[in-house]
């Protein structure tokens, strides 16, 4: 599979990853190496302040360096021109011409992309997806994000809002989702879902005794507490993770029937569980895969770039865009 290459004169690009609580930025080399980085808090309720913070961060990171482009990764729907943010759930952006705002203040080529797309592209180019041409990534954090790489190209869809894999429906008339639908995989395969499952196990006692004790001690369960119990082998916490993996594996079987990827990559905070998560995913995938045994099966792996994927992917996508546009 041919990978993107760019001219030798292109040295560095900047990647910015806008999250609900922080904005991360980095200078990234052509090899995906982070050369300098910054982080500031996100003022989620103030759109102008977020744009100011992004501009300031890019200006600081660019000082004294040869920078060819900057890429900005944001949650939500981004148009196919990589310019406008249609909708962002935790920031008050609705049809926000973000690229235009930044171009007015920065003398750089700017691209905008979905944060999960940026993370997935980073894994494809520099991480777990390097050996393949077709890869599907699921990011398992508070919600579920996704990215699809097909034959070496990032899939965005006809309007730019494709690969919203967290909103694949797995349970008809299931739990209500923030997107307005019911039964989305985000409600069954996310970090928030893991906490709900862990609390349910704590409520019934038995294998949930340690979860119940932790809840009494701390007032409520959170990701760190459940993660520590999983790492220690607590049966209740591990059972919650297995239930989560079951739903993710079922979703992967449906995705595989459409996309036929060579590789599924799992990122996000829950993915630190490694094989404890991948085992149940593989089992459920095989149970739900149509015509199993009649074609090769994909591999299931954990993402390699962890928290740096967003900035690395955003920078690389910006570099490629700049090269293709002749800037």
Q: Model confidence over 29-58: pLDDT tens digits? A: 999 999 999 999 998 889 899 999 999 999
Token readout for 89 is 């759930």
Q: Given a cut of 60, is residue 121 above it in pLDDT?
A: yes
Q: What is the 8-class DSSP label of residue 243? A: H
Beta bridge partners of 34: 28
Domains of the chain: 12-122+307-325 (3.30.420.40), 131-189+236-303 (3.30.420.40)
Q: How far apart are CA 97 and CA 164, in angstroms?
A: 21
Token readout for 29 is 């080399």
In 84-134, which ranges are E strands?
85-87, 94-96, 109-114
* Mean predicted confidence (pLDDT) in 194-206: 97
Q: Are 15 and 70 in contact (CB under 8 A)?
A: yes
- Length of the chain as a residue count: 327
Token readout for 151 is 């034959």
How far from the centroid of its chain's Cα atoms is residue 58's Cα? 22
Q: What share of the chain is helix, strand, coil (3-state, %, to 5)?
A: 45, 20, 35
Q: What is the pLDDT of residue 326?
A: 61
Q: How far apart are CA 277 and CA 271, in angstroms?
A: 7
How far from the centroid of its chain's Cα atoms is residue 95's Cα? 22
Q: Given a cut of 80, is residue 200 above it in pLDDT?
A: yes
Q: How far apart are CA 155 and CA 263, in angstroms?
A: 15
Q: How far apart are CA 323 and CA 321, in angstroms?
A: 5
CA angle 285, 276, 152 (to 5 degrees): 55
* Mean predicted confidence (pLDDT) in 265-292: 94
Beta bridge partners of 16: 25, 72
Q: What is the pLDDT of residue 8?
A: 42
Q: Are 284 and 246 in contact (CB under 8 A)?
A: yes
Q: How far apart are CA 177 and CA 86, in angstroms?
A: 19
Token readout for 62 is 């660019």
CA angle 149, 150, 153 (to 5 degrees): 70
Q: Does residue 176 sit in helix, strand or coil?
A: strand
Q: How far apart are CA 209 and CA 220, in angstroms?
A: 14
Q: What is the pLDDT of residue 45?
A: 84
> By C-alpha distance, which of 84, 54, 81, 47 is closest to 70?
54
Token readout for 281 is 């995913």
> By C-alpha distance, which of 105, 56, 47, 49 is closest to 76?
47
Q: What is the pLDDT of residue 189?
A: 97
Q: What is the pLDDT of residue 88?
A: 85
Q: Given a cut of 60, is residue 124 above it in pLDDT?
A: yes
The 10 Å CB-count burial string (b at 16+, else e) for 50-74 is bbebbbebbeebbeeeebbbbbbbb
């Amino acid at each position: 599979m041919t990978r993107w290459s760019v001219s030798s004169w292109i040295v560095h690009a900047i990647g910015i990853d806008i999250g609900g609580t922080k904005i991360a930025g980095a200078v990234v080399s052509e090899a995906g190496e982070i050369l300098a980085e910054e982080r500031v808090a996100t003022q989620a309720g103030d759109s102008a302040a977020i744009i100011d913070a992004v501009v300031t961060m890019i200006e600081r990171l660019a000082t004294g360096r040869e920078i060819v482009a900057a890429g900005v990764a944001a949650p939500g729907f981004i148009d196919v021109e990589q310019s406008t943010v249609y909708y962002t759930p935790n920031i008050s952006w609705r049809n926000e011409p973000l690229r235009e705002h930044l171009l007015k203040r920065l003398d750089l080529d700017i691209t905008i992309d979905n944060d999960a797309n940026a993370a997935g592209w980073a894994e494809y180019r520099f991480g777990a997806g390097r050996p393949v041409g077709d890869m599907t990534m699921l990011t398992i954090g508070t919600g579920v994000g996704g990215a699809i790489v097909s034959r070496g190209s990032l899939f965005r869809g006809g309007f730019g809002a494709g690969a919203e894999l967290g909103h694949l429906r797995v349970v008809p008339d299931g739990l209500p989702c923030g997107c307005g639908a019911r039964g989305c995989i985000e409600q069954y395969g996310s970090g928030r879902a893991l906490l709900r499952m862990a609390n349910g196990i704590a409520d019934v006692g038995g294998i949930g005794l340690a979860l119940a004790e932790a809840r009494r001690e701390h007032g409520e369960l959170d990701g760190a507490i459940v993660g520590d119990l999983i790492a220690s082998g607590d049966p209740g916490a591990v059972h919650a993770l297995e239930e989560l993996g079951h739903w993710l594996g079922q979703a992967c079987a449906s995705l595989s029937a459409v996309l036929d990827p060579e590789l599924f990559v799992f990122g996000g905070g829950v993915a630190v569980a490694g094989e404890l998560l991948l085992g149940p995913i593989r089992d459920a995938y095989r149970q739900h895969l149509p015509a199993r045994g009649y074609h090769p099966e994909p591999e299931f792996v954990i993402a390699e770039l962890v928290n740096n994927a967003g900035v690395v992917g955003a920078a690389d996508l910006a570099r490629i865009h700049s090269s293709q546009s002749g800037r």
